[in-house]
Chains A and B, each alone.
Chain A
Amino acid sequence: DGGITQSPKYLFRKEGQNVTLSCEQNLNHDAMYWYRQDPGQGLRLIYYSQIVNDFQKGDIAEGYSVSREKKESFPLTVTSAQKNPTAFYLCATIEEGSTDTQYFGPGTRLTVL
């Protein structure tokens, strides 16, 4: 089955701890994205990567870090510097073509206690 997986679905951490969210895809897509979703707000772009070993900051990158060592994987680390880390995190890839439609993973709901 082709798709995007994110694990775990729910994640709890204590304040001050770093946490890494995984995103894996077997769609052979080059571009991958991380979004954050909060109640009453649209999806906001954290980081994106258009190709292996390259990534760019999005609109709200402060307190986050990423790596892109493999085409299939784009993990996101939420560091202790992120002031309000509790949110729903979505990973997406793009099917390159005329529409560049984004497809999303199932998401990880992070709660920092």
Chain B
Amino acid sequence: GQNIDQPTEMTATEGAIVQINCTYQTSGFNGLFWYQQHAGEAPTFLSYNVLDGLEEKGRFSSFLSRSKGYSYLLLKELQMKDSASYLCAVRDPSNSGGYQKVTFGTGTKLQVIP
């Protein structure tokens, strides 16, 4: 089966750094995605990791450790507009029929305060 765990809520201060963790137990693994979702809107793609290590993209970085089933999203120089939910999702290639299933976590709601 698939299980993805993220903290439900986090609060951080404008200008600070915040790390959002994600742990997963899945039948197979073929990549991990992070999405940002503002309230009432669609998720938007932030990052993708398939190999161990850190991927940096501007103020956002994402880290993966496949052996530990662990990833984190690091947000630097927080801005008020970063207040949103952050979804961790794992792609599992073990499904038959040629479809690589993506399982989403419940998301971490980040509130940035002045």
Residues of chain A touching chain B, judged by Cβ–Cβ distance below 8 Å, are: 40-45, 48, 50, 56, 88, 90, 99-107, 109
Contacts and interface: CB of A to CB of B under 8 A. Distances in A.
A100 B42 contact: no
B12 interface: no
B105 A102 contact: no
Interface residues of B, number: 26
B18 interface: no
Q: Which of A40, A42, A88, A103 is most buried by chain B, counting CB atoms within 10 A of its CB?
A: A42
Contacts of B97: 56
Instruction: Identify the 8 closest CB pairs spanning chains A and B, nearest first.
Output: A42-B104, A104-B42, A43-B104, A99-B48, A42-B106, A107-B42, A104-B43, A106-B42
A90 B99 contact: no
Given A50-B99, A104-B42, A105-B42, A42 B87 contact: yes
Contact of A104 (B4, B44, B99, B107): B44
A107 B107 CA distance: 17
Interface in B4-63: 4, 8, 31, 33, 40-45, 48, 50
B106 to A, nearest CB: 5
Contact of A100 (B41, B87, B100): B100
B99 A48 contact: yes
A55 to B, nearest CB: 11
A42 B45 contact: no
B101 A99 contact: no
Interface string B65-105: 00000000000000000000001010100000111111111
